[in-house]
Amino acid sequence: MTPVRAVYDCVVFLQGAGRSTGPARKWLELIDQGIVTLCLSPPVLAEVEEVLSRPVLLHRFPLRRSDDSLER
């Protein structure tokens, strides 16, 4: 099966990092399963990395670790 190409905005990553259940987490899992190929522009990727590395969010969402990286 050919993976579906998708564009996720920063909110999907924020919600997916903040909750272990819910639609956003499931959408992120589709990437790991190879069902979805994520398409992001460099500016969107930079926004996601900046937002998810904010100390207040690292404290609020313990599922997200400071050593997590979006690069694979």
pLDDT (tens digit per residue) in 9-68: 999 998 888 888 889 999 999 999 999 999 999 999 999 999 988 888 877 776 554 444
Residue 21 is predicted with a pLDDT of: 86
Q: Report if pTM > 0.85.
A: no
Residue 63 is predicted with a pLDDT of: 55
Phi, psi angles (nearest 5°) of residue 68:
-65, 145
Write out the H or E segment, with its range, that includes residue 13. helix 10-18
How many other C-beta atoms can be found within 10 angstroms of the C-beta atom of residue 17? 23
How many other C-beta atoms can be found within 10 angstroms of the C-beta atom of residue 8? 19
